[in-house]
Chain A
């Protein structure tokens, strides 16, 4: 049979497909780091990270304002997304009748599918002018960014948390309820602690998403490369720094943007590994 001869070849092709992901990650790391690392070596990692002045035309490359901008914005997003996401997760997993959940859950998941450029667009046209009217200034701010990013990470936080809550064995709850605890006592003292690792993982995943977000952020945060001093200050993130300047950057400036990418990559890598570690630890308990 011909087939017998072809099968080993197909098998080899499938093997190559399987290792393609590894190859892709290695290629991405090699090419982004190859552009960024020589610059970091020449410029100095600490002067790059802690330099407060970013003016590429004058040869100043300090990303401290963007680093802080990214961190503040991520924390702001968590401050909004965590209570909303975990609140929804508890409500839909424990309280809401199955009929409502089966309608609402897919609807909330739709929030996750909306492209970030649309969030940015609505933020730019609705939220920013509204904040401008309310608080003065330009409206482009940490606050605007946090509100929009908080909503953007909500589905991630919600679905991962809800899965964790649903994965708690029914017998735990039954035991608690049988002892006379109310439903809320059972949730707050038994279910949530048991689902802790999944909930933490959902938050870390949400942070990773907020940190890596680009389009929505550059449309609503004002992109000023200064350390933000209040909720109403404009700010620029690491992602925004790259997206805004890649179009025209050349030479050393372009290398500095790749170096920004290197820092961003490392931060995200740490967060993703952390999320997986927490989940993995939770799963083995």
Chain B
């Protein structure tokens, strides 16, 4: 039988090693990826089209496609998500509406990406006739990132002190003016954080994009053209064994994008929370 003191020491050692192990896994994963991928990245890789299905050349069309897909997704998800957040916090009078929307947003957030892919395929690609395209992929992504944008925007708007609104209303501003000129500017950093996190998710998404945007190696020229995102390109390079070197380089570009987005979001949150 161990004494309570010895037990405490034992627990501390075990928990400490778990924490060290976790951090080590993270460090090794990122370190290995960078070590293998960085040497293959140069200006040519970033700015040129792939040759021989990606064995040679670069990833420029896929970088473009990733931006376009994310752009289409934001074009729908930002107004809808922020608009919904404004309505729920500022206008909704009945509690059940807020509760119901929150419940459905939770469900939407929990749906696995492959089911979004199935839906996007049958609804956007087939039923609406958009085909495998930027539009189908972007709209599917919009549905996936909507919960993140909605929830963070709602939280951000809620933290705006009530006195701000009262002050504005007391000066004779309408409710709309108050929201547009006072509440939204104060909540902007929080809303941006949500949008940046959502972009991170959209950039990394693969399964749903594969099923709705296709995997054309050509750069898309219009909304109805098929497009291959960076993540889909990485998947194809790796699984079809096309080029390990190019796959590592693509992975580094992808993860750099995602990490930059996340660090920016974390920075914004830090600036928001009073120390």
Mask, B201-227, CB within 8 Å of A = 1, is: 001111100110000000000000000
A1-56 interface (Cβ within 8 A of B): 3-4, 6-7, 10-11, 13-22, 24-25, 27-28, 31-32, 35
Q: Is the CB of B91 within 8 A of A11?
A: yes
In the assembled complex, which residues on chain B have CB atoms less than 8 Å from the CB atom of A7? 174-176
Q: Is the CB of B122 within 8 A of A32?
A: yes
Q: Count residues of chain A with CB under 8 A from any CB of chain B.
A: 84
Min CB–CB distance B206 → chain A (angstroms): 4
Mask, B80-93, CB within 8 Å of A = 1, is: 11111011100110
B130 close to A (CB within 8 Å) = no
Q: Is the CB of A91 within 8 A of B150?
A: no
A170 close to B (CB within 8 Å) = no
Q: Count residues of chain B with CB under 8 A from any CB of chain A.
A: 83
Complex Cα distance, B258 from A16, in Å, reads: 31
Complex Cα distance, B33 from A256, in Å, reads: 38
Stretch among A57-65, A116-124, A195-203, A227-235 lining the B interface:
A116-124
A219 close to B (CB within 8 Å) = yes
- Main secondary structure, interface of A, reads helix
Q: Is the CB of B107 within 8 A of A84?
A: no
In the assembled complex, which residues on chain B have CB atoms less than 8 Å from the CB atom of A84? 18, 21-22
B160 close to A (CB within 8 Å) = no
Q: Find the A residue at minimum CB distance from B36.
A: A125
Q: Find the A residue at minimum CB distance from B247.
A: A121
B1-60 interface (Cβ within 8 A of A): 4-5, 7-8, 11-12, 14-16, 18-19, 21-23, 25-26, 29, 32-33
Q: Choose one: A17, A24, A28, A154; the contact of B79 (CB below 8 Å).
A: A17
Residues in chain B within 8 A of chain A (CB atoms): 4-5, 7-8, 11-12, 14-16, 18-19, 21-23, 25-26, 29, 32-33, 79-84, 86-88, 91-92, 97, 100-101, 104-108, 110-119, 121-123, 127, 143, 146-147, 150, 174-177, 200, 203-207, 210-211, 231, 234-235, 238-239, 244, 247, 251, 254-255, 258-259, 261-262, 266
